[in-house]
Amino acid sequence: MRLSKTFLPAVQSHRISLFYNILNNIAEGVFIVNDEGVIEMINPLGVTFFGAPAESLLGQKWFYFLTSQYYEQYQDIFANWKNNQNQPLSHGPKEVVINRIDGTLVEADLSLSFLPTSMTGITPLFIGVLHNLSQHKAQYRELRKQAYTDQLTGLPNRYDLEQKLGECWNQCINNHQPLSLILIDVDYFKTFNDQYGHLNGDKCLQKIARVLQDCLPSNDSLAARYGGEEFVLILPHCPVQGAELVARHIQKAICALKFTDMQLDAHLSISVSQGIACNQGGQYRTPEALIFAADTALYRAKADGRNRINLGL
């Protein structure tokens, strides 16, 4: 800011240098812009948000450094404000993403405060206070990922499955597309655990998860752990014949699994039972009804002797 201390009384001059010291040492990024959005002052922490030397930031419009979505927002906000200056232009913390000079992105909370000419004496000014959110956001993303992921297999968990199924359901209904679901249950898994131990049982579930992932027919299909030794495949845009082919593929791949890397007998093999249901033309009213139909089909596959594929009605 262009303030001269030369003719100011000593007390006032002291206050101004105190103010500068506070601003330069405060643990938030602070910048001051004029009514065009041009940066007039920026503190050292503020500079780190933009990733360029203070000298090159002064004189530039601050919102040029925002990613496109926020850039347009603030460009509009400033333009609207210029057209109707009676509107106060202040807000509390709002999320923005800053595109630093080196191309890296910084997620931050921005609070904007308006200082009218009656306070500044020259021209209205705005104070921007930036609080770095990048670390919190990274932690949040990690926790969110964990909340949606089955820890043992790395597949989406049941919670994620229910969300995704709801989304696929709506999308397929709206586009008049079929939606198939395969419910898969490992056969005699209690015996596997009893004979080879729970840890080997865990490794076996991990192998099964990898097979299911590899058998997915398209990028929009999804394998999830439904719970215990049960898994689900969601196959959007897939008619029942396609789902049956996928199930046969899974059946073959599971039966071919080897456990010699776990120091188990080379002849040991496992199998799964599968129930298929497909919503093609509105047979089912809800995603829950589709799961129920696949579950009933799975129950019959088990009852018919296991290592079977059964189609729901």
Ligand X SMILES: Nc1nc2c(ncn2[C@@H]2O[C@H](COP(=O)(O)OP(=O)(O)OP(=O)(O)O)[C@@H](O)[C@H]2O)c(=O)[nH]1
CB atoms within 10 A of CB 49: 24
Binding test (CB under 6 A) with ligand X, winner from 186, 209, 294, 311 = 186
26, 300, 306, 307: which one contacts ligand X (CB under 6 A)?
A: 306
Please report whether residue 201 would count as binding ligand X according to CB under 6 A.
yes
Choices 104-112, 201-209, 212-220, 285-293; region in contact with ligand X by CB under 6 A: 201-209
Asked if 189 touches ligand X (CB under 6 A), the answer is yes
Grouping H, G, I as helix, E, B as strand and the rest as coil, residue 93 is strand
Question: Contacting ligand X (CB under 6 A), which of 188, 206, 214, 260?
Answer: 188
The residue with tokens 């509105």 is: 282
Catalytic residue (one of 72, 229, 230, 244)? 229
Q: How far is the CB of 197 from ligand X (least distance, A)?
A: 8
- Write down the least CB distance from residue 253 to ligand X, Å: 18
Task: Determine if 228 is a binding residue for ligand X (CB under 6 A).
Answer: yes
What's the CA gap between 248 and 265, in Å, rounded?
A: 25
Give the helix/strand (H/E) hosting 214: helix 198-214
Supply the minimum distance, in Å, between the C-beta of residue 192 and ligand X.
8
Q: Is 150 in the site for ligand X (CB under 6 A)?
A: no
H or E element, residue 223: strand 222-227
Cβ closest to ligand X, residue 128 vs residue 201: 201
Distance CA 66, CA 85 (A): 23
Nearest approach, Cβ of residue 244 and ligand X (Å): 21
Joined tokens for residue 230:
């049960």
Closest CA to 205 of 241, 162, 283, 259: 259
Establish if 152 lies at the interface with ligand X (CB under 6 A).
Answer: yes
Which residue is associated with the tokens 């089912």?
284
Tokens of 209: 């998860």
CB atoms within 10 A of CB 188: 13
Residue 225 DSSP SS3: strand
- Helices of type H across 29-94: 44-50, 54-57, 68-83
Q: Is 95 helix (H, G, I), strand (E, B) or coil?
A: strand
Query: Which of the stretches 21-29, 71-79, 186-194, 206-214 binds ligand X when contact is defined by CB under 6 A?
Result: 186-194
Identify any residues that bridge with 95 across adjacent strands, giving them in sequence order. Answer: 109
Residue 247 binds ligand X, judged by CB under 6 A: no
289 is an interface residue for ligand X by CB under 6 A: no
Binding status of residue 302 toward ligand X by CB under 6 A: yes
Interface with ligand X, residue 187, by CB under 6 A: yes
Distance CA 209, CA 232 (A): 10
Nearer to ligand X, 116 or 228 (CB): 228
Which residue sits closest to ligand X, CB atoms considered? 201
In whole angstroms, how close is the CB of 27 to ligand X at the nearest point? 46
Nearer to ligand X, 275 or 287 (CB): 275
Q: Does position 195 bind ligand X by CB under 6 A?
A: no
Residue 209 near ligand X by CB under 6 A: no
| Residue 158 interacts with ligand X (CB under 6 A): yes or no | no
Q: Using alpha carbons, select from 292, 160, 152 the residue that is nearest to residue 228.
A: 152
Is 169 in a helix, a strand, or coil?
A: helix
- 229 included as an active-site residue: yes
**Residues forming the active site:** 229
Give residues in contact with ligand X (CB under 6 A). Answer: 152, 185-191, 193, 198, 201-202, 205, 228-229, 302, 306
